Structure 1
Amino acid sequence: MKQPLGVILAGGLARRMGGGDKGLLPLGAGTILSHVVARLEPQVAGLALNANGDPSRFATLGLPVLPDSIDGFVGPLAGVLAGLDWAAEQGGDHIVTAAADTPFFPCDLVARLCAAGPGIVLAATADGRHPTFGLWPVALRDDLRAALQGGLRKVVQWTQAHGGVEAMFDDPGAPFFNVNTPEDLIKAESML
């Protein structure tokens, strides 16, 4: 398998944070999203951001911004599809996704997901699956598009139908800690 492309999923509505772009909130010397980019970029062959709305708000990142191709904020699978379509245009075979609000994921995420591949692989810990962190074959993009257009929204339901497996991350601490609330942002500052 050649080195996958990376896609940061930032297409959510951030309701628990009062709306807006959680990834653009300050964290340390940068933003939550700048920490995610710094972790994922060295692990992938190229990087893009899945986000809806005006892409210019992410201009400082210098990344392609991929909007969902399925209307209505249907969840993370729409972002995965946008990434798979972009990867197909780039000649990629796989993408690895990471959430824009999870700044401390493992620095060897991609290697560990790929080792469990080459099909769909979702990150998991003792706490459960982390379905926004996964390895996704570009070859399944048309199937995913049809599933989304047919009303499917559950990541695990679609991945299990395609033989998806889990890669266990038993790293100490909370490697997939995500910032969902103002209190989480305070905790993230202390975790830096």
Structure 2
Amino acid sequence: MAGLQADVRLARGTLQLGVELSAHPGQIVAVLGPNGSGKTTLLHTLAGLIRLQHGQIAVAGSVWDSPADNVWMSPEQRRTGLVVADHLLFPHLSVIDNVGFGPRSRGVPKAEARARAGVELDAVGLGEHLEARPGELSSGQAQRVALARALATDPTLLLLDEPLSALDPTTRAQTRADLGIRLRAFIGLTNQVTH
């Protein structure tokens, strides 16, 4: 599997973003910078939430975005998982259905999606909370559900946008350890934003 080749060039308001990234499968790339420097914009562009103005994004040998070639893959066509600081879980769905949402949106039958969700939830230590609602979870548990949801889609590219920043110090330390275990087992590409 080829890796990530990205030449991201765009302007948003006063931000002029110009970033070149190259990564191999299994590699973790950290994007560091001050507030307002374009870290989140970069991840949103890789995920397809923002279109490139110039440059190209190619993942695993497939071009996802290239304005010069009139190529653009929508977010749902890209094999990406995105985890943000606020976890953005669906409050009306159980934990297992939150995690199963990604595979279901890709056409996976419900039983298979729930089975895949169960495996991912076991892997993040939440196998006993399958039917809980997000409001019943601690912030660390909710963030692990968000990670499991991203990984359940079998992404080629995992994007982590300050996934630990909203957690208290104790929860952050445990969740960081859990995240490290999961990332060591992930064979795709990981881009992580932090300050």
Shorter-chain TM-score range: under 0.3
User: Which one has a larger percent strand, Structure 1 or Structure 2?
Assistant: 2
TM-score normalised per structure 2: 0.26
